[in-house]
Amino acid sequence: MTEPAGEDRGGSSASAPRPRPQYGEYATPEEQRARIAQPDVALVYEPAPAADPPAGPALAAPRGRAVAPTARMRPVDRIVTFALLAYGLVNVIATFPALVDFEAYTEAMLAYLGADAALSDPAPGRPWGIAAALVLAVGWVITAVLSWVSLRRGRLTWWIPLAGGVIFTLISASLVLVPIMGDPGVREALVSSIR
């Protein structure tokens, strides 16, 4: 057992000073913070300037805004996304002139389907072909923009060009079918070729 401060072994009190505390029990809060190197919370907090991030293509900041690096880089997703966009662009470029020349397009399509028929008046079908071509072109642009935004945010993106291709191709095909199915002779020839 330790002896109380200020007493010697003989039981008489001496004027010896108290021993210095070892664990800070008598220290002021400032002395305790200095000892453990803790800042005073009463002081205004000023954040230290951040270190510059390493330069790289994924960290380039457009228009002065900071871009956080993506958690996971997906090179396979990028490759598949760009491949699907490239395929879609080639498809739009190849299909656009064919849809604009609607009479030749319907003749080739009906011959492919085995229907021995032709449009009685192909002139009303030309605006439908142009509309279908424009839907494909605008659809590709929308799909490419959405894919780019998704890639910049680090999200899984391969499905966007795939879904965009299916959606805008179905819309374009529906527009092409309006004048074709509106012609009674072509409609009967298509129905008989299916039987």
Any idea where the domains of the chain sit in the sequence?
Answer: 75-194
- The mean pLDDT of 61-66, rounded to a whole number, is 50
Instruction: For 25-37, write each residue's pLDDT tens digit.
Output: 677 777 777 777 7
Higher pLDDT, 10 or 171: 171
Task: State the pTM of this model.
Answer: 0.58
Q: Is the pLDDT of residue 128 over 50?
A: yes
Q: Count CB-CB contacts under 10 A for residue 11.
A: 7
Q: Is the pLDDT of residue 44 over 60?
A: no
Output b/e per residue, 73-101; b: 16+ Cβ within 10 A: ebeebeebbbebbeebbeebeebbeebee
Higher pLDDT, 158 or 186: 158
Residue in the block written with tokens 């380039």: 60
Distance CA(127)–CA(179), nearest Å, equals: 10
